Amino acid sequence: MSEKQESKASIEMSSKRLYYASAILMIIGGIGGLVLARLSGVLYASGVPSDTTGYLRLFAQHQMLAAADWTLWIAVDITIVLPSIGLYYILRNVNKTVALVGSAFSIAYIAFDIAVTELSSLKLVSLSQSYTVAANTAAKASVVSQATSIVNALPLMTFFSFTIGAVGWLLWSILMPKSFFRKTTAIFGVIVNVMGFLGGVAVYVPALGIFNVFGALLTALWFLLVGAQMLRHISRSTNVVSDQTASSAPL
């Protein structure tokens, strides 16, 4: 094998490792998303609180569940980092600019969701503990004051957490039919991420609340589909290369 062929083989092997890791992480993220949908359903079984005191009391009653919910959100966000890079490399052959913008939105979502939305939510869980052990009315009022600034910002945080990622993943979905992904997966991605965007808008337009309820669940299912099809493509590509190598080997 020539040096040029060795270099090309090395690059292809590196790409396959990236795609394989991305596929596995997409599947893990999808599974995590399904678990989160269940956890959130249990946590908010009695409805979303309407005021700061309601949030503090709810989280005080379910501290472990609330902490697990937002900690898992952070973990799921982290699993999407490498796939955001991997899908750029896969889809850039269709349209480099759109693929890059899609991945940029995906990474921006991850950064915002972890640094702002999830850590703020975990701060509320911590404040709920302080609210529970507060010795007097003045101490409780101080905790409520701190928590109110977070609760007031929650609609805006939710809006951006839902919409930023949805825009990026929608762009990926638009490119997918021209790559190795099935057309049905691409169409499902378009539907899911439009729903995700509307789910973000729902914090200001309650009539769209149904999209908030189902958006995260369907996004998790879409992640599973994308990851599974990436794995399938890698497996087929590997088998084709192995067959070609075997047929070209000297007898």
C-alpha–C-alpha distance, residues 186 and 90, integer Å = 14
Domain membership flag for residue 117: yes
Domain membership flag for residue 124: yes
Tens-place pLDDT, residues 179-194: 999 999 999 999 999 9
Which residues have a Cβ under 8 Å from the Cβ of 219 and sit 6 or more positions away?
33, 166, 169, 192, 193, 196
* Structural domain that includes position 105: 8-239
Tens-place pLDDT, residues 70-122: 999 999 999 999 999 999 999 999 999 999 999 999 999 999 999 999 999 99
Number of domains within the chain? 1
Domain membership flag for residue 3: no
Give the torsion sign (CA, 100, 104, 110, 111): positive
Domain membership flag for residue 245: no
Domain membership flag for residue 162: yes
Domain membership flag for residue 153: yes
Domain membership flag for residue 1: no
- Mean of per-residue pLDDT scores for the chain: 87
| 11 confidence band (pLDDT: 50, 70, 90) | very low
pLDDT at position 46 is 85
pTM of the complete model: 0.86
pLDDT at position 23 is 95
Q: How far is the CA of 47 from the CAs of 41, 42, 222, in angstroms?
A: 9, 10, 26
Domain membership flag for residue 147: yes
pLDDT at position 136 is 83
C-alpha–C-alpha distance, residues 191 and 169, integer Å = 11
